[in-house]
Structure 1
Amino acid sequence: MDSIDVLLAAHRAYLLGWNIGEAGDLDLVTYRSDVPHPPLNGVLRLVGRDPADALTEARRRLDGVARVWWVGPDSDAGTVDALASLGAAPVITMPIMAVPIDEASAAPAPAQVQIAEAADVDEFVTAYARVSGIPPTGVPAAIARERSFAGDGTLIRLAGRLNDGRIVGTAVAWLSHGVLTLYYVGTHPEYRRQGIGTAMTRAALDLAHERGIRTASLSSTVAGESVYGRLGFRTVGTYRLLSF
């Protein structure tokens, strides 16, 4: 399985694909989409730079937008404590999970759901906004950023549809740095607990495997850790997210 450094680099590449602001240098990597959704604006890495100076600079670059600071294994040790001492507040802990695709469990889609690539960006973003926390007022900006996405990799949007064409499940497959990273895996609330999200994940794994990708990764909530664990994903690291 690929090293965690590769997984983290692929994650940075995806979020930088949303960036319309300053990305900065390797010591302080930031991205700004102007979508009013904290995970789509923030800091990705802090290495070898004074935390107080970095915090001041990050606040300047990201002024006026909802944002988060991702602290993972690619940031300096002690970053969380340093930022907390400067006023940053913990938001959530997210396990970084990965699986060799060849070892992942099967997960067929429910009979009433067909999974395929989504061609209509507006429809797809509107569908994933509903389960990801993007407010309705932020959907137009999210659509604009999706349309102008320019990350270092290949982005594939998967939609799970009912027979009448309605999207009830989504997943974004991000192929970069030789790995698959998953985003926006979700199911509309009224269709949850039917295996749709698991099937969306498995469909993305199959698609990536067909393209020669051998490792899949994602950042889960703690609650979702057991769900992905049943597919074969294992925790290989942790992100601590802070608001600032």
Structure 2
Amino acid sequence: METLDVTEVAAHGWLENVAAIAEALPGGLCVRAEPGLALLASGAPLASVNGVFDVRSAPGPGLIADLAARAAEQIDVPWCIQVRAEPDAGTAETAAAHGMTTVVRTPLMVRELTGRGTLDGRLPAGFALRQPGPEDSAVFATALAAGFEAPAQVMSLLGGAEILSLPCATAYLAGVGDEVVATGLALRAEGCVGIFNISVPPGRRRQGYGTAITSAILEAERERGARLAYLLSSEKGLSVYASLGFRTVEQWTRYTT
């Protein structure tokens, strides 16, 4: 695949994955304005998982403004405006009109999963991977809360039974003995897989567990048929994902208050 094709697949796969989460949750909202543009809300009090999301390669600001006005009326938790393309003046003005003056740039990273053999990861001693189902959602959500140092009630939504029941979703827990040392979530869409919720609790960081679980997820999802993996990386995660063969193909822009 050419880089442009890979980027398009990953960008639209991301939107489909986040829409699936929004549609699955009881307080969720999913309004599709046109291909690549949607108003999505999970109901969790995190701006990054609620708001107007635009993965069109050449958007116009009009529909974004319309959806932002609707978001202001219908979403009662923090929300954002996130665009894939370089934001124009109209988008920035819309964000400012809703009090969104904080701008964050987030890299979209991709990795092809073609071929056979190892995907560059080395598993630490005692490392064991399992795939918790909906019946294990409380355990998964607790592990997410520990890894992200976030409130349990937030992660009970984003790691709850509704998400783990989605046909496109597989949760992953890594353990050493009886201790959970890393989490991850894979969300599939049309031949690609999104890597979400990679976390390691504070006492287990810098020991290779984040790298190990990401590598193990890539192996498992390749076996399921995925040929492309993507993720939106934090600044701290860039070097980890680069070591596993991910490369940055775009910088997305998110506006928040």
TM-score range, shorter chain: 0.7 to 0.9
Q: Secondary structure at the residue paired with 1:8?
A: helix
| Preserved CA contact (<8 Å) 2:68 2:94 | yes
Aligned pairs for 1:147-186 (under 5 A) are: 147-149=161-163, 154-164=168-178, 166-186=179-199
Distance 1:243 1:14 in 2: 21
Q: Deviations over 1:137-166 (max 9, x none)?
A: 3244445xx3223998611111001212x2
| Preserved CA contact (<8 Å) 1:153 1:176 | no
RCO higher in structure (CA 8 A, sep ≥6): 1
Distance 1:31 1:18 in 2: 9
Structure 1 residues 14 and 183, CA, compared in 2 at 3 Å: closer, same or farther? same
How far 1:130 moved relative to its partner?
2.6
Q: Which residue of 1 aligns with 2:111?
A: 99
Q: Deviations over 1:164-204 (max 9, x none)?
A: 2x212001011112101100011111001111111111111
Q: Which residue of 1 aligns with 2:247?
A: 234
How far 1:110 moved relative to its partner?
0.7
| Alignment RMSD | 2.6
| Preserved CA contact (<8 Å) 1:97 1:217 | yes
1:29 aligns with 2:45: no
Comparing 232-241 with 104-113, which one deviates more in the overlay? Answer: 104-113
1:11 corresponds to which of 11, 14, 35: 14
Q: Which residue of 1 aligns with 2:131?
A: 117
Distance 2:119 2:6 in 1: 21
Distance 1:151 1:90 in 2: 34
| Preserved CA contact (<8 Å) 1:16 1:151 | no
Equivalent residue pairs, number: 239
1:82 corresponds to which of 93, 97, 121: 93
Comparing 79-88 with 11-20, which one deviates more in the overlay? Answer: 79-88
1:202 aligns with 2:215: yes
Q: Please, what TM-score do these two structures have when normalized by structure 1?
A: 0.86
1:126 aligns with 2:130: no
Comparing 45-54 with 128-137, which one deviates more in the overlay? Answer: 45-54
Comparing 230-239 with 17-26, which one deviates more in the overlay? Answer: 17-26
| Preserved CA contact (<8 Å) 2:137 2:164 | no
Q: Secondary structure at the residue paired with 1:148?
A: helix
How far 1:213 moved relative to its partner?
1.5
Q: Which runs of 5+ in 2 are unaligned?
A: 23-27
In the alignment, residue 126 of structure 2 is paired with which amino acid?
A: Q
| Preserved CA contact (<8 Å) 1:159 1:169 | yes
| Preserved CA contact (<8 Å) 1:99 1:215 | yes
Structure 1 residues 130 and 83, CA, compared in 2 at 3 Å: closer, same or farther? farther
Structure 1 residues 136 and 200, CA, compared in 2 at 3 Å: closer, same or farther? same
How far 1:21 moved relative to its partner?
1.9
